[in-house]
Amino acid sequence: MDRYQKKEKGIGFVGDCRLRFKQKRGFVKDNKFYITTSIAYVNAPPHVGFALESLQADVVARFYRDKGQDVFFLTGTDEHGTKIARSAENEGKKTKEFVDEISPRFKNLKDILNLSWDNFIRTSDKEIHWPVAQEVWNSIMKSGDLYKKTYKGLYCVGHESFVTRKDLVDGVCSLHKRRPEEIEEENWFFKLSKYGDEIKKRIKSDELLIVPKSRKNEALAFLDEGLEDISFSRPSKTLIWGIPVPNDSSQTMYVWADALVNYISGYGGINEWQGHPADVHCIGKDILRFHAVIWPAMLLSAGLTLPKSVFVHGFITANGEKMSKSLGNIIDPYELVKKYGTDPVRYYLLREIPSSEDGDFSYSKFEERYNGDLANGLGNFAARVLTLGNNYIAIYNSQFNKEIQVDKFINEKIEDIKINVSKKIEEFKFNEALGSIWDLIHFGDQYINEKKPWEQKDEKIVMIKGKTIYELIVILENVATLLLPFMPETASKILKAIKHEDPGISIDKIDNLFPRL
């Protein structure tokens, strides 16, 4: 019998977790669920910030997949623009050669971080991405929302966009710490100003849900300032590396006009998107404006459906400072996994970093979490229960013939935590979801210490020992099942050690999950 069917025994999940968020947003109508990360800019190898975003999206994808949803999880790389061309030039490489070297570093995070994405899109892909980007461009053109004009303004290479003086601090971009370039050129412009009221209405009503609420308010504040039309192309003599504007060889599509369409091209095209648009875009706070304003406007202009929600996470700092190559404090996820292992890295980033706020990384905090939560917490609890089970489960099998009933207060504790974990994942509060799972681990530890089953030697209480061992197995199996979206390898090891046979249960000992550092 499958562990999900053992409600009366207390084994595994007791019933299906509630899908409040999906029901509220209308995600269950066709059993599909589509989630994306942003696509990573390949001017440099991946850092731990993109690893966090990938893991957050992976938890959501695994969670809904385990609930029987038909999940499609998309990620990829953004490979066009001035910044890419200049980075390649600085490396003494051709642009195509440069992106072909960097993009696989992002793609290979699938194995390094044990990600479950279904497709990896590259915007330099001329067969898959380019035709869809140009098709969307043509739809916007047919709407009458593109026009050509000469423009003089301040261009931030870091943003890959024009900025205004109000975006600067002492004449410098506050995010990229450099002065923008003053540029005058003839470009295609998009009538962004036309769609401000409609986008505001969709965001206010949560038809386009932005999480957390602080980011929703930020997007609305930006809309309240009024929208200006934006540049949608660059002269091809200035920007060769990009997608040509349809029917205008003198212009190259502006990088964001191209990149945002990856959510359609990587999904299978416009028909797929129209059949079921993205349920969740998982992005960083620095690109909120593009996803909450420009992307919806592009879709409205092209006559396409809007995504259902945008989840916005913060930045990761390193020892209290912003990560940058100049400071030499970039955290490489490859090196991190090599040193500590995949699941410890997944756990730390999802537990220590607040899901929608800025959070700090330090090796001292990592090792403190590892030793305290993993080695002494989950690892120790799993070892204690599986060792007891391996030694004494025969008592349960012989005395109870699998008819034992788990105490009501244990089942209630498990059920309350499962409901809370489900709710927290649906709300994108991954750190709080993990906190709830650790509450169940602490509960199990306390139960072991209270019952001390190894001391129950009198023949009169041998049945109590068997019952206690069984209840501890129930608790551990629920812990592992709840951990599947977060720490899939560790959770699977625990679940494989608990074998439901006919008749009885057998328990395998496993190697130390998390040796102390």
- Name the domain boundary from 296, 313, 330: 313
**Which amino acid appears at position 319 of this protein?**
N
In angstroms, rounded to a whole number, what is the distance separating the alpha carbons of residues 82 and 105?
21
- Does 410 share its domain with 283? no
Q: Is 174 exposed, middle or buried (0-12, 13-18, 19+ CB in 10 A)?
A: exposed
Please answer whether residues 199 and 301 qualify as being in contact, where contact means their C-beta atoms are separated by less than 8 angstroms: no
Pairing type for strands 498-500 and 505-507 reads antiparallel
Distances (CA, A) of 288 to 13, 55, 281, 282: 36, 19, 10, 10
Edge-to-edge strands, sheet with 233-235: 233-235, 248-253, 244-245
Note if the bond before 131 is cis, omega within 30 degrees.
Answer: no
Paired tokens of 185: 């050129």
The token pair that represents 4 in the structure block: 């999900």
Place of tokens 């939560």: 373
For 172, the enclosing helix (H) or strand (E) is: strand 172-173
pLDDT for 228: 93
- Does an H or E element contain 40, and which? strand 40-41
Could you tell me if 268 and 390 lie in one domain?
Answer: no
Q: Which two tokens stand for residue 115?
A: 């990600």
Residues 210 and 357: their CA atoms lie apart, in Å, by: 14
Backbone phi, then psi, for 510, in 5-degree steps?
-125, 160
Among 313, 348, 380, the domain-final residue is: 313
Q: Would you tell me how many other CB atoms lie within 10 Å of the CB of residue 1?
A: 9
Query: Is residue 238 one of the residues assigned to a domain?
Result: yes
Count of CB atoms within 10 A of residue 499's CB?
Answer: 12
Pair 283, 388 in one domain: no
CATH of the domain at 170: 3.40.50.620
**CA–CA separation, 84 vs 78, rounded Å?**
9
Residue that has been written with the tokens 């059920």 in this structure: 415
- Give burial (CB, 10 Å; 0-12/13-18/19+) of 346: buried
Domain assignment present for residue 190? The answer is yes
393 and 303 belong to one structural domain: no
Pairwise CA distance, residues 370 & 377, whole Å: 9
pLDDT for position 167: 65
DSSP bridge partners of 433: none
Alpha helices, DSSP H only, in 91-128?
95-107, 109-112
Q: How would you classify the pairing of strands 161-163 and 168-169?
A: unpaired
Cis previous bond, 344, omega within 30: no
CB atoms within 10 A of CB 403: 8
- Within a domain: 3: no
- Tell me, yes or no, whether 303 and 370 share the same domain: no
- As beta bridge partners, residue 516 has none
Inter-residue contact 67 to 19 (CB < 8 Å)? yes
| Predicted local distance difference test score (pLDDT) of residue 176 | 54
All residue ranges of the chain with pLDDT < 70 are 1-29, 153, 155-171, 173-178, 324-327, 395-404, 456-464
CATH of the domain at 462: 1.10.730.10
Give one DSSP letter per residue of 266-329, joined into a string: TTT-HHHHHHS--SEEEEEGGGHHIIIIIHHHHHHHHT-PPPSEEEEE--EEETTEE--TTTT-
Residue with tokens 């979490």: 369
Is 358 part of a structural domain of the chain? no
Whether 404 and 492 share a structural domain: yes
Residue-number span of the structural domain to which 460 is assigned: 363-507
| Residue 452 near residue 389, CB atoms below 8 Å | no
Number of H helices, E strands in the chain: 21, 21
Same domain, 272 and 368: no
Asked if residue 292 lies in contact with residue 306, where contact means CB atoms within 8 angstroms, the answer is no
Q: What token pair was written down for 397?
A: 């099998």
Q: Is residue 276 part of a domain?
A: yes
The pLDDT, as a whole number, for residue 150 is 87
Backbone angles phi, psi at 85, to 5 degrees: -60, -40
3-state secondary structure of 402: coil
Sign (positive/negative) of CA torsion 5, 11, 12, 15?
positive
**Residue 76, in any domain of the structure:** yes
Distance CA 407, CA 409 (A): 6
Number of compact structural domains in the chain: 2
Do 291 and 427 fall within a single domain?
no
Instruction: Answer yes or no: are the C-beta atoms of 145 and 303 closer than 8 Å.
Output: no
What pTM was estimated for this model as a whole? 0.88
> Which of 297, 313, 329 is a domain's end point?
313
Q: Is residue 321 part of a domain?
A: no
Do residue 251 and residue 367 come from a single domain?
A: no
403/488 same-domain check = yes
Q: Are 33 and 26 in contact (CB under 8 A)?
A: no
pLDDT, residue 184, reads 73
Q: Is residue 2 part of a domain?
A: no
Q: Are 400 and 467 in contact (CB under 8 A)?
A: yes
Residue 276 and residue 205 share a domain:
yes
Q: Are residues 400 and 294 in the same domain?
A: no
